Structure 1
Amino acid sequence: MPTTEIITPRVLREWPLPEPTGDKHSRGTVLVIGGSRNTPGGVLLAGLAALRGGAGRLQLAVTEGTATALSIAVPEAKVLGLPETREGSVSSKLPRALLEDVAEADAVALGPGLDNIEETQKILESVLPEAGPDAVVVLDAYALGALSRRPEALEHAKCGAVLTPNRTEAAHLLGRDLGDDLAAEAAAVAARYHAAVCLHGHVADPDGRVWREESGAAGLGTSGSGDVLAGLVAGLLARGARPAQAGCWATYAHAVAGQRLAPRFGRTGYLARELLDEVAYTIGTV
């Protein structure tokens, strides 16, 4: 059973994030790939969270039908429209321009808002080989389902990885029901996929270290909250944080942001988009 360290401000201060210096390029580029005709909001939330985490440049790749609206909603981002299926999902027939963006990105968040597992599996298989050796890919939502079908996909990738599963997705990744010890389960996922893992307030590194955040509340279990966490991890990675470090800082900021909102909206009344206004302040005041 892994020894678990509690994530506290002291722990984070002793593990400081890289100091932002220079221009936007020095703070790194985040590329978020996801969305569908029905769920473009996941990409918006993840992208804005990446900027709140300190990323210098943001690129969003979504279905062609939603790209214009998203470019207006997020004027800070470059937005690339992707081919879509008849049902409105992102098609696996990815343009060369996207794969070139993957190769140049410091962090890629794949999964928010995707809704077709077969197409997502092919997208995963196309994206992972293109990510550079210094890049880190954050896999979330349907991308995790695709990974559970192809556990070997990460073995052949040059890049690092962070997985951000919920309990159901973690069970798929392990091929079994989860036990009550989420620290042990996060460690099991990390060991199996050789990736850092953020699982319901627990962060695990494949080297065996595990951390737990204890401020999380029921309010974080709301639509879009996971997209915010995945994007925040990507933003911290882009500015130079290591995978487990980004996971710990993001998990703490995500949970404490919810705590800050609870007095105004109640324990379960705040929205995922409102977390965005709190995470940067939380990180800055650790």
Structure 2
Amino acid sequence: MSAREVVSLTPAFLREWPLPSPQGDKSSRGTVLVIGGSRSTPGAVILAGTAAMRAGAGKLQIATSESTAPALGVAVPEAMVIGLPETPMGNVAAEPPQQLLDLVSSADVVVVGPGLFDGDETDQLLAAVLGALGDDSAAVVDACALASVARRPEVLEGCADRVVLTPNQSEGAGLLDRELSDDLDAEAAEIAQKYGCVVSLFGHIAGPVGGAWRDETAGSGLGTSGSGDVAAGMVGGLLARGAEPSQAACWGINVHAAAGQRLAVERGRTSYLAREIVDGIAPALAALEV
């Protein structure tokens, strides 16, 4: 694989690549639909959804296991929440109802994966969701849904150029079906070329036909439970604002790291929580968008 020039994501660089700034009402800032969660992991969709709103999305919809949906509707009053059929173990079931497919077709961005855990069920769910994606809509594939992409890459046909994959290192290894080397720039580029998607791999971002970026500011505290859900939601929110996939991934990962830096000062390097990262998105964005 040919080497790519990797651009460092500095505040100066990002300010020269400004995010779209939609005018008008909430509809102009896009609708994000988060699909995921389970009876045992209901918080994942809360983290992803609220992060999308903090990143600037105008409307939030959450589709999750039916047993947890009422509580999530109270916990996230900004969102429309629908319950989905679930398995006996509490995971979202494979065959989505028509109501969900209708929401997918009309959403600007779909974030799928946070909080899911059943591989077989998720394989079928992801195929149905991406198959219903609108022609001008984008998607973020995260967590358990990434393993589905690795098993069934054909689900990306027709939409890969509008999809951002957000693997951690273990999930990245699954996408390449081997252990990752220490050169994560090269590994991100290989994943991007293999699947035809923008990839954000542990601070290393690559596009499928060129373009490579790296954030070098993330601290160890970001390695906390739920942090990846926040990052995926942020990318989704930026896509909803009108950012194209590589820009959404670059801004999302940098703001995620910046929010962690602020919290490290306030809480300690490894003492802050993922939900506190969500609260740090707005000031981190504001500092860049001056």
TM-score interval, smaller chain: over 0.9
Structure 1 residues 159 and 135: CA distance shift in structure 2, 3 A: farther
Number of residue pairs matched by the alignment: 286
Query: What amino acid does structure 2 have at the position aligned with 1:151?
Result: P
Cα-Cα RMSD: 0.9
Per the alignment, residue 222 of structure 1 pairs with: 224
TM-score (structure 2 length as normaliser) = 0.97
Select which of 91, 94, 98 maps to 2:93. 91
Structure 1 residues 53 and 214: CA distance shift in structure 2, 3 A: same
Aligned with 1:65: secondary structure?
Answer: coil
Q: Deviations over 1:196-243 (max 9, x none)?
A: 111111111112211000110110000000000000000000010000
CA distance in 2, matches of 1:157, 1:194: 9
Matched ranges for 1:158-169 at <5 A: 160-169=162-171
8 Å CA contact 2:48–2:232 kept in 1: the answer is yes
8 Å CA contact 1:109–1:137 kept in 2: the answer is yes
Q: Does 1:170 align with 2:172?
A: yes
Per the alignment, residue 52 of structure 2 pairs with: 50
TM-score (structure 1 length as normaliser) = 0.98
Structure 1 residues 165 and 21: CA distance shift in structure 2, 3 A: same
Aligned with 1:285: secondary structure?
Answer: helix
Query: What amino acid does structure 1 have at the position aligned with 2:21?
Result: E
Structure 1 residues 5 and 152: CA distance shift in structure 2, 3 A: same
Per the alignment, residue 281 of structure 2 pairs with: 279
Residue ranges of structure 1 left out of the alignment (5+ in a row)? none
8 Å CA contact 1:57–1:77 kept in 2: the answer is yes
1:281 is displaced (CA, Å) by 1.4
1:284 is displaced (CA, Å) by 1.6
Per the alignment, residue 207 of structure 1 pairs with: 209
Matched ranges for 1:24-43 at <5 A: 24-43=26-45
8 Å CA contact 1:133–1:159 kept in 2: the answer is no
1:152 is displaced (CA, Å) by 1.9
Per the alignment, residue 18 of structure 2 pairs with: 16
1:159 is displaced (CA, Å) by 6.7
> Where does structure 1 differ by over 6 angstroms across 4 or more consecutive aligned residues?
none
CA distance in 2, matches of 1:44, 1:284: 22
1:133 is displaced (CA, Å) by 1.6
8 Å CA contact 2:169–2:201 kept in 1: the answer is yes
Q: Does 1:246 align with 2:254?
A: no
Residue ranges of structure 2 left out of the alignment (5+ in a row)? none
Structure 1 residues 224 and 158: CA distance shift in structure 2, 3 A: closer
Q: Deviations over 1:82-140 (max 9, x none)?
A: 00011111001211010000000110000000010000000011011110121111000
Matched ranges for 1:41-120 at <5 A: 41-120=43-122
Query: What amino acid does structure 2 have at the position aligned with 1:116?
Result: D
1:157 is displaced (CA, Å) by 3.6
Query: What amino acid does structure 2 have at the position aligned with 1:66?
Result: T
1:158 is displaced (CA, Å) by 7.5
Per the alignment, residue 188 of structure 1 pairs with: 190
Query: What amino acid does structure 1 have at the position aligned with 2:227?
Result: S
CA distance in 1, matches of 2:161, 2:42: 26
Select which of 140, 143, 146 maps to 2:145. 143
